[in-house]
Chain A
Amino acid sequence: MKNDTKPASAARREFLGKLGRATACAGAVAGALGVLQEVSAKTETASPGASFPTKDYDWTKHQWAFGVDATKCIGCLRCVEACKRENKVPLNAHQFRTWVERYVYLEGDENARIDSQQDPVNIEASGSQKEYRFANRYKDAKVEKAFFVPKLCNQCTHPACVQVCPVGATYRTEDGVVLIDHTYCIGCRYCVQACPYGARYFNEEEGVSDKCTWCYHRITKGLQPACVEVCPVGARVFGDRKDRESPVSLFIRNNRVQVLKPETGNAPNVYYVGIDKEVN
């Protein structure tokens, strides 16, 4: 600094410098406030285009939703098998796009005994990791209450998985489904950790995350998701909420429905009927 010999001008320069720095800080704070809106959990949909993703399908004309009537489910696990085959999910007992939970209260039990098809006892009963059964594990014990709960991706309106993806490989479509771009996913698995429902898994062979898409490749062609199609009792209901007479619109309108873990603020879009307090 040449001004070392001129204290007065040095002091002035110092003051101006400080002023400049203070202005820069204020600017940074203002900028940060603008970003806040962007980074909050309330994610916007990918893009507001028309006739997307295919020529004959307009995703602005639909709003898909899913209903589960747990009182109807018989735990046959056809849905799980159908999903594994339809979506090329690895045939093992650790990775599922959908699964069924069994809740059993034996006489005198305070809490439910919960298992799913991946439980070693059930895998032993099926004889293979590629086939799924519920074993008769409680034998002659007196059952006080028991029911099944099918689970799948909730395609949340404010999905935590989409929020945390560092590259934007996972996104929410205009018609309400959370998808993953497998050609862009880096395989960090932050989304797997962020999902409160355990809906995501990591496909090690492909090196990318994967999860239920409500069979997006089918529903955009007017078909039902595979699990809905094979359900023999109609426990799974699927449809368009923009169509007031669709199965799912009627399901939501005619029942007292609830969603899983509403406290997360994720706003799930799978609506349940007939689940108990222990289901989460």
Chain B
Amino acid sequence: MELLNNIAHYTGWVYPNETVFEWSVLIAVYPYLTGLVAGAFTVSSLYQVFGFQRLKPVAHLALLTSLCFMVFVPTPLLLHLGHPERAFNSTITPHLTSAMAMFGFFASFYVVLLILETWFAYRPFIVEQAQKRTDLLGRFYRLLTLGSYDLSEKAMRYDRKWIFSLAIIGIPAAHGLHGYVGFMYGSLKSREWWSSDLMPVVFLFSAIISGVSLLAVLYVVTCKLRKVPIDLACLKGLGYTIWGFIMVALVLEGLEFANIVYKGREGVEMIMQYVTGPLLVPYFILQMAIGAITPLILLSYMIWRGTTGRALIAGVTLCASLVLMSVFMMRWNVVIGGQEISKTGKGLLSYNPLIFGKEGLFMAIALTFAPLGALWLISRVFPPWTDGAAASHGH
């Protein structure tokens, strides 16, 4: 008995086996992380591919953020598996009909792409450091040059071509990886709350706004920590990006919900009881009102008034933080919410998260913040800042 985690209380009629929540909070953390990866990569691509020059100060930071979060994406999954040592079964013998089978390939491909793009982006810096330093770190940089010290105009043009191509391939790769997570839920016919054609797109747009918001917060915080002035044009660019995408995200989310209600299929009474009851605060208030509509209004106001200076910094940071909260709530409301509505359509369950343990809340929080630790570490070796000595010569 003591083995069973997450036993749920319920009302109405639920299948006996449903009284154990099989997908814990870690499974909500997982799409949150992949979403941040895709969103951060969007920022990097907006600069590299679409030429948004004002985003240059965060372009390298975006790339490193994407990489650091991507490295942690498999961790919630591995902690959740009953047999993590068999995880590679899905790459050795992928069962092609499964929406989950390709994850290993997609993820590995994307990690390789990120490492490659980071290497090209940092090559001038690596070469410079390799030639300058004589210590142990110098040896590390010399190893990373892979024997190429050519920084001629021709070589740089070649590098830029690679970066451009990788950034282009990265767009479908990052968004594919994340849309695919949405498909994993949307394609299940067992739950009305998940089974939606819009699910992958809803996941995608929420991913973009979460990643851009993370970049905005990271940029402001790192500037404060490093005591350098914040590039207002860049921050405004991030604000605009959030503003543009949040509207689409809201419309899609609204459409999805409207579809469930309007179609009113079997079990809709239970869904209505759920959204107006237990889900009222996490869904309508936290995710929608505070996390999405408030930032939309605030950003619209700032754009309309042409807000700048400290007010712009405070406003965008606040909005971005709210969006980060909103998107986490969205993941929670999908993953946990879906399981709180019984497959019978005649009952509701309530998730009772563990506090400690490998699938507890502390672990979830640790895994969400661990990539930031990695980012701090990697930014020591590969400074993403465009000001000062560490400025990249690649662009």
Residues of A within 8 A of B (CB): 35, 38-41, 43, 90, 92-96, 99, 114-118, 129, 151, 160, 162-169, 184-190, 192-202, 204-209, 264-265, 278, 280
Q: For residue A40, which residue of chain B has the nearest CB? A: B97
Please state if B343 and A196 are interface contacts (CB–CB under 8 Å). Answer: yes
Chain B interface SS verdict (over half) = loop
Inside 8 A of B343's CB, which chain A residues have their CB?
A: 196-198
CA A202 to CA B13, docked complex, whole Å: 20
Please state if B86 and A184 are interface contacts (CB–CB under 8 Å). Answer: yes
Stretch in contact with the other chain, from B119-127, B186-194, B313-321:
B186-194
Q: Does B237 lie at the interface of the complex (its beta carbon under 8 Å from any beta carbon of A)?
A: no
Please state if B22 and A192 are interface contacts (CB–CB under 8 Å). Answer: yes
A198-B18 in contact given A166-B98, A187-B83 (Cβ < 8 Å): yes
Please state if B82 and A206 are interface contacts (CB–CB under 8 Å). Answer: yes
Q: For residue B266, which residue of chain A has the nearest CB? A: A280
A188, A189, A198, A204: the one contacting B4 at CB < 8 Å is: A204
Stretch in contact with the other chain, from B99-107, B130-138, B249-257, B374-382:
B99-107
Q: For residue B265, which residue of chain A has the nearest CB? A: A263
CA A94 to CA B28, docked complex, whole Å: 23
CA A206 to CA B83, docked complex, whole Å: 9
Please state if A114 and B13 are interface contacts (CB–CB under 8 Å). Answer: yes
Provide a sorted-by-A list of 28 A–B residue pairs whose CB atoms are within 8 angstroms: A39-B96, A92-B1, A94-B7, A99-B15, A114-B13, A117-B16, A129-B1, A160-B189, A160-B190, A162-B97, A164-B99, A164-B188, A165-B98, A166-B103, A167-B95, A186-B84, A186-B86, A187-B86, A190-B100, A192-B17, A193-B22, A193-B339, A198-B15, A198-B16, A202-B20, A204-B4, A206-B82, A280-B345
Q: For residue A278, which residue of chain B has the nearest CB? A: B346
A193-B82 in contact given A198-B16, A200-B17 (Cβ < 8 Å): no
Please state if A118 and B16 are interface contacts (CB–CB under 8 Å). Answer: yes
Please state if A167 and B81 are interface contacts (CB–CB under 8 Å). Answer: no
CA A7 to CA B13, docked complex, whole Å: 73
CA A193 to CA B98, docked complex, whole Å: 13
B16, B101, B188: the one contacting A194 at CB < 8 Å is: B188
A166-B1 in contact given A188-B81, A193-B188 (Cβ < 8 Å): no
Inside 8 A of B15's CB, which chain A residues have their CB?
A: 99, 116, 151, 197-198
Q: For residue B103, which residue of chain A has the nearest CB? A: A166
CA A204 to CA B15, docked complex, whole Å: 18
B4, B16, B184: the one contacting A96 at CB < 8 Å is: B16
Please state if A188 and B18 are interface contacts (CB–CB under 8 Å). Answer: no
Inside 8 A of A41's CB, which chain B residues have their CB?
A: 97
Inside 8 A of A190's CB, which chain B residues have their CB?
A: 98, 100, 184
With a 10 A CB-CB cut-off, give which of B17, B81, B184, B266 has the most chain A CB atoms.
Answer: B17
Interface set, chain B 49-103, CB cutoff 8 A to A:
77, 80-84, 86-87, 89-90, 93-101, 103
Please state if A94 and B19 are interface contacts (CB–CB under 8 Å). Answer: yes
Chain B interfacial residues counted at CB < 8 A: 46
Please state if A94 and B100 are interface contacts (CB–CB under 8 Å). Answer: no
A165-B95 in contact given A192-B22, A193-B22 (Cβ < 8 Å): yes
Q: For residue A199, which residue of chain B has the nearest CB? A: B17
Please state if B20 and A186 are interface contacts (CB–CB under 8 Å). Answer: no
Inside 8 A of B80's CB, which chain A residues have their CB?
A: 188
Q: Does B23 lie at the interface of the complex (its beta carbon under 8 Å from any beta carbon of A)?
A: yes
CA A193 to CA B330, docked complex, whole Å: 19
Q: Does B5 lie at the interface of the complex (its beta carbon under 8 Å from any beta carbon of A)?
A: yes
CA A118 to CA B103, docked complex, whole Å: 36
Please state if A208 and B90 are interface contacts (CB–CB under 8 Å). Answer: no
A167-B188 in contact given A96-B16, A198-B343, A204-B82 (Cβ < 8 Å): no
Please state if A167 and B16 are interface contacts (CB–CB under 8 Å). Answer: no
CA A189 to CA B344, docked complex, whole Å: 19
A164-B98 in contact given A94-B17, A186-B89, A193-B23 (Cβ < 8 Å): yes
B20, B81, B87, B89: the one contacting A201 at CB < 8 Å is: B20
Please state if A202 and B22 are interface contacts (CB–CB under 8 Å). Answer: yes
Inside 8 A of B4's CB, which chain A residues have their CB?
A: 92, 94-95, 204
Q: Does B3 lie at the interface of the complex (its beta carbon under 8 Å from any beta carbon of A)?
A: yes
CA A192 to CA B7, docked complex, whole Å: 15
Please state if A166 and B16 are interface contacts (CB–CB under 8 Å). Answer: no
Interface set, chain B 12-33, CB cutoff 8 A to A:
13-20, 22-23
With a 10 A CB-CB cut-off, give which of B188, B339, B346 has the most chain A CB atoms.
Answer: B188
A93-B190 in contact given A184-B86, A186-B90 (Cβ < 8 Å): no
With a 10 A CB-CB cut-off, give which of B18, B20, B103 has the most chain A CB atoms.
Answer: B20
A118, A162, A186, A200: the one contacting B83 at CB < 8 Å is: A186
Nearest CB of A to B347, in Å: 8
CA A21 to CA B83, docked complex, whole Å: 41
A99-B16 in contact given A164-B99, A185-B82, A196-B343 (Cβ < 8 Å): yes
Inside 8 A of A200's CB, which chain B residues have their CB?
A: 17
Q: For residue B101, which residue of chain A has the nearest CB? A: A166
